[in-house]
Amino acid sequence: MGFPTNILSGIRSFSISGRPSALDTPPDSHPPTPKFTKTYDFEDAALPPSGTVATAPAQTNSSKRWTRNFTSFKPIPRANKLPISMPTISILRHIPNAPPVSEDLVKVFQFIEERFSEHFKNVNFEPAVKKLKEKRDIKTLRETYQWQQPGSTNPPYPPCLKSIPDDEQTGLLEIFDLQRLIDTSIALLPFEPPLIGYRAFGAWRAGTMAGLEARMAKLRKQHKNIGTEPSIANRPDWYSDAVFGQQSFTGPNPTSISNASATWIEEFAGAAKKQGNENMFALISTSDPESFFIQDYSYFRDAAGAFPGATLKSDDGKRFGTAAVTLLQLSRTGNLHPLAICIDYTVSLEQSVVIFNSRLRPTDPTKGEKDDWSWRYAKMCHMVSDYYRHELESHLNNCHFVEEATIVAAQRSFTSQHIVYKLLEPHWLKTLSLNASARSILVPKVIVPIVGMSSSVTYAFILDSYKRFNWTQSYIPNDLSSRGFAPSSLNDPKFHNYAWARNMVPMWLVLQKFVSSVLTCYYASDAEVAEDKAIKSWCNEMHSPTGAQMASFPDIKTIEELTSAIVMCIHIASPQHNSINYLQCYYMSFVAAKPPCLMAPLPSSLPELMAYKEKDIMKALPIHDEHVWLLAEQLPYLLSYGVSEDQTLAAYAQGLEDEARDVGDKGLEKAAAGLYDDLMKLGEVFDKNSLGMDDRVVAYNVMDPTELAVSILI
């Protein structure tokens, strides 16, 4: 199937039509993955009575639909069975009351577009006129999709496509929203005209936290720039321990928290004892070890090839980074509470600055949290570290670059008639062009200039992330189990706030059932899979030292192994990337909540840290560097723009069913129909998981199947 990639700025027109329910097939009628009998007890929410029709609501194409306020939360209408025909409705899509694109901003954008156009032409990324894909044999495919040779890029990147074929190139305006691209482009200018900058971003400088909060409130009231979206700054407790802890479960990086090892528990207990903090020592020493969790960024220096005690700082020495380690405790009632933070792990915990929370339990009084500046600074150090792990590892590498490797390997192995190609091709929409723009512009011109690491350390960190990525270990059941969240235990009340995990397990199983249903129609036995030359080629391309260089990719011999590999490709492109990308604007556009760097050296001792006041935090924030500050808030704003309904996972299922029906492929048609029905049921489960969380300020609906991007398309 093909998805329209023609995105217009500001206003879009498209049609919504119902999916004919020609097949009345129960979702559990598809055969399970061979040898896969594990099930997890996730309660299905009640569905509307049979025959009930729910009309799909028109929605604005912005990320605010993933950050709906609980006070106005209404369940999304979900059709159990759509009518055989539904009137086609033309809908204008736009952000309500969005500020018009001024003539001045258009001129600035035209200047920037011209500035970069030569570069795009030189590296074959300039969008060309789309043409219909011709049938290509394997020889042609391998000539068309060539690997960039390792070590031949400058700066260095993981394995990627050498050049994008003309018929797959996608322009920046077909990827990003025009207004947001203009705003980010203005921030890219080393000296943007003051008047244009003020009109685009408003007054940005402030001397206090209250001033920064007031600026965000003003932008929100004016509906200007990042103020067009909800923000964590809108809640008065954004700095609190409760909000801090919950972000490890439902923030933009919910994938790195893991159970604390006995070594970490012992070392933090030892640090508490050394500081004479008897209450904290007793708490850590006597509590159930399984209640402790860790956010461990101590590996940063090793990953980047830096000395254990080296200072993480930018090339100009003005920006500083951190490699924090945070110990948290999960209560029986599900509250994830931070107990201790090593603000920057250098050599060992004993030789690093470690601070303990004065609030031992989440139920302790919160009155002093706002003015506990030393603890707030430590949490800010954690957020700087998490910024790197999220932006460079979880997001850029584990989603964008890993998915690109699978795309190139698949393009060099499967013709368009192969079932693996048919299953995966829709999940490649825009990804290659988007990644090319990331390598040429976003990383070197946006990310490197704002992080607290040198350019060489940043690129070394990205390369190390790719080398450390383990394909099979990243399968959702394996990943969660290895981090202390066994899928079978997620219905335990203490995990009720980990909505990301509680959503991902049933999503994985639904995708697994769908892919297995398709493959069992094409392969009668494991032997047929093992003998498939195209599958052998795919594995070889993924393993090859001149290809993807990913030894952890399976040597596929069975239907079950092929099923899991395909599910993983879809998982990365759709639910995984969606959950990591589309909450960035809410949590990261307010730079004080998650800064990309510190603008002052870190305190070298605990007494120095304990003396910190508000002025020290303001000095450490990049508020005094307009270029860094504006880029830091514009990047998540640019990347969080919503997806059109015709490019969602639900639309993929509908389109696949229609295409299969047209060519008479009954097996694929039946599986696609089952996928659509299962996705609608999952939406109900996800709503229930969101409503079951303790934090009732913002609904967790970033994985809603009706709004889930089919691919990494932004």
**515-542 residue pLDDT tens:** 999 999 999 999 999 999 999 999 999 9
**608-623 residue pLDDT tens:** 999 999 999 999 999 8
Of residues 54 and 288, the one with the higher pLDDT is 288
Residue type, 182: I
- C-alpha triplet 653, 573, 571: angle, nearest 5°: 75
- pLDDT of 38 above 60: no
Task: Please give the model's pTM, rounded to 2 decimal places.
Answer: 0.82
Of residues 384 and 183, the one with the higher pLDDT is 384
Q: Is 113 exposed, middle or buried (0-12, 13-18, 19+ CB in 10 A)?
A: middle
**303-322 residue pLDDT tens:** 999 999 999 999 999 999 99
- C-alpha triplet 681, 663, 708: angle, nearest 5°: 30
pLDDT band of 227, cuts 50, 70, 90: low
Q: If you average pLDDT over residues 405-432, what whole number do you get?
A: 95
Predicted local confidence at residue 290, as pLDDT = 98
Distance CA 149, CA 365 (A): 58
The dotted CATH code for 17-82+397-578+651-707 is 1.20.245.10
Report DSSP state, residue 43: P
Report DSSP state, residue 354: E
pLDDT band of 79, cuts 50, 70, 90: very low
Of residues 632 and 185, the one with the higher pLDDT is 632
Report DSSP state, residue 189: S
Long-range contacts of 125-134 (CB under 8 A, 24+ apart): 125/163, 125/164, 125/169, 125/433, 125/436, 125/437, 125/440, 126/169, 127/169, 127/170, 127/171, 127/174, 127/433, 128/166, 128/167, 128/169, 129/166, 130/5, 130/167, 131/166, 131/167, 132/167, 133/167, 133/416
- pLDDT of 203 above 70: no
- pLDDT of 352 above 90: yes
Residue type, 82: L
Q: If you average pLDDT over residues 570-592, what whole number do you get?
A: 94
Computed over every residue of the chain, the mean pLDDT equals 82
In which residue are the tokens 């020889």 written?
139
Residue ranges of domains in the chain: 17-82+397-578+651-707
Distance CA 361, CA 558 (A): 49
Predicted local confidence at residue 286, as pLDDT = 98
Strand order in the sheet with 354-356: 258-259, 292-296, 325-330, 336-342, 354-356
Token code pair at residue 566: 């395909």
Neighbouring-strand partners of residue 338:
328
